[in-house]
Copies of this chain bind each other. A is one copy, B any other.
Amino acid sequence: MNKRNIYLDNKPLAEAKAIWHQALTEVGFFSRRPQEQIAVDLCLGRILARPVSALRSSPSYNAAAMDGIAVHFLDLANASEGNPVRLGRDRFTPVNTGNAIPEGCNAVVMIEDVHYVSDDEVELILPATPWQHVRTIGEDIVATELILPEGHQVRPIDQGAMLATGVTKVWVQCPPRAIAIPTGSELIQPGQIGQPGQIIEFNSRILAGYLNDWGAAARRGTPVPDDPDRLREAIMAAVADNDIVVLNAGASAGTRDYTSQVLSEIGRVVVHGVAIKPGKPVILAMVGEVPVIGLPGYPVSAVLTMRLFLRDMIAAFLGRDRLDSPVIEATLSRPFHSKMGVDEFVRVTLGRVGDNLMATPVGKGAGAVMSLVRADGLLTIGAGKEGIGAGEKVAIELLRPQAEVDATLVCIGSHDNIIDLLANQLHTQRPLIRISSAHVGSMGGIMAIRRGEAHLAGSHLLDESTGEYNIPYIRRFLADVPLQLINLCYREQGLLVAKGNPKNIQGFADIAEHGHLFINRQGGAGTRLLTDKCLADLKIGRERIQGYQREEYTHMSVAAAIASGSADAGMGIRAAAVALGLDFVPVAEERYDLIIPKKFLGDEKIVRVLELIRTDRAFQERILALGGYGLRDCGKVMFEQS
């Protein structure tokens, strides 16, 4: 199997790009510039392939610029208060704005300055200058003058200008025809229920979507199974009527093989393997004169790799400048280590907390499509760096409008399902408020508050000695931070077990005794502390709990593991059990509070949150429906320090 890697190169990104650009130039990819002539009515958003000049002048006739009367300016040469001039019907013509100036007239007098002696006679007391209040022919633009240059993207106003000057057809660039072909025998279509090992085919939708965003005319191809012959046929058919062919390898190693192997048979593999993360196995090939790009199977790798190699290609094909996303400066909230010699692309969430725009890395690997959904921006760590330290300033390529980022409430700390409800509720209000929540446990939240990286932190830390929640930890770690501790809820913690509790697990004693498989929460999580407290109370050694060392970061992940049978029991909140239809063995009721620095209490986002939990009955109903929650102190200030 290792044979696979033999021809998997590891070219530096810059070099790979240069080689690829060279290859594209050689086949004339950038100079093709197909163009078509279409009606101006249909050219909105298209790129002009030729300059557009006015066919007729605008205005095309001398037009009244005011409502009033048209006259010959010489008739009023001596008009004045003392010497009013009277004109008969033969020397003036009533005109409305836009009317043509009659033959023999060369000025307009505003209606306000006209005194009608009778319907047929007017009296005027002001002299006129030639062509006053007249929009003369070509005042806006003269026939033959340039309206729009080649390469311009047509806006609605441009359509108007062209039509106004008699232009009804224009030559525009044709977008590159692109196709995204998914490959892999494990693929099934959305809606189908997959067997283990089968994967829903959604990548081609993502890829075609972005290709179209960037200006291509992209379609999705039919999935191709892991079969060299079928793949060969598919590629040959695709290159026949496309300008760009994108292959998306299935996740299986097999597919990756076939793709490069087949491409080197029917064409030329220009680059296979680039020193980037994610996206290393990308294949850049040429079949005939058509570029064929083989993207990695993981959605995140596929999208990021495509951004690197296809966005500029499409722009250049259309004769446009590369489309860069806006870049802003942010502060990295936690250190991020990166491999030397590799350009790494890190998905980050962004949040403006006080004066600092904080960037926090998200995502547990290229398989996690949600990490890209949640990402607000991209951080590039150059091949020359081993990583970036916390607090360092970094340049972030925005994946969302800045406005959305600025409207983000940063919530770091313990996870609770209510946060999801909150996130949705706030996002339906106006102005929209987004919640970016990082689940790093209660202690992680307290530290984030201390570093000024979060607007609020969810915490349920029990102090064993006093039996008090959160306050002792605040005294210890946030002594100098003016803040309020506001209760969100009380919630039932307990053991999540399979539906019907088949192994009849009633507590940790059973788990230890019968060697049931446990699944734990990460260190620093309030739920982890609760677990350890129970074990301590029961005098059960950790080593006796099988799976103690297996850690998950959220209640839902623990629940998922149990639902899937990969664990027998785990500590979590009742809401998680309810959500996935598990059984629940109550262990304790605990208090879950929100830690909010005073300086943010005035922030509209925080105001909305407190409003919601304190006054919105419907919202509280929804919380209770989740199961296991008590709201008797919801919104109450449990502790305050200044």
Please give the residue numbers on chain A whose beta carbons come within 8 Å of chain B beta carbons, in ascending order: 1-2, 40-41, 44, 51, 57-63, 65, 67, 96-100, 106, 111, 129-131, 135-152, 155-161, 163-164, 166, 168, 186, 190-191, 194-197, 199-200, 202-203, 205-210, 213, 250-254, 297, 299, 303, 316, 319-321, 324, 364-365, 367-373, 403, 407, 420, 423-424, 427-428, 430-432, 434, 547, 549-550, 554, 556-557, 559-561, 563-564, 566, 579-580
Contacts and interface: CB of A to CB of B under 8 A. Distances in A.
A252 B67 CA distance: 8
A321 B403 contact: yes
A579 B367 contact: no
A556 B370 contact: no
Contacts of A67: 1, 253
Contact of A209 (B138, B142, B156, B424): B156
B560 A143 contact: yes
B253 A368 contact: no
Contacts of A40: 190
A430 B322 CA distance: 9
B100 A197 contact: yes
Contact of A157 (B65, B139, B303, B580): B303
Contact of A191 (B168, B194, B321, B364): B168
B98 A252 contact: yes
B579 A206 contact: no
A59 B251 CA distance: 13
A557 B139 contact: yes
24 contacts: A1-B67, A41-B190, A61-B196, A96-B252, A98-B199, A129-B549, A130-B549, A131-B566, A136-B557, A136-B560, A137-B560, A137-B563, A142-B556, A142-B559, A145-B420, A146-B423, A149-B427, A155-B209, A156-B208, A156-B209, A159-B206, A160-B206, A163-B190, A164-B202
Contacts of A554: 142
A560 B44 contact: no
Contacts of A1: 67, 111
A136 B566 contact: yes
B252 A141 contact: no
B62 A564 contact: yes
A67 B369 CA distance: 20
Given A130-B550, A420-B145, A138 B579 contact: no
Contact of A369 (B97, B164, B213, B250): B164
A65 B368 CA distance: 11
Contacts of A160: 202-203, 205-206, 299, 369
Given A136-B566, A560-B136, A431 B321 contact: yes
A211 to B, nearest CB: 9
A151 B146 CA distance: 43
A138 B561 contact: yes
Contact of A252 (B97, B130, B147, B403): B97
Q: Which 7 pairs across A and B sit closest by C-beta, in order of nearness?
A: A156-B209, A98-B251, A138-B560, A100-B196, A149-B427, A163-B202, A61-B196
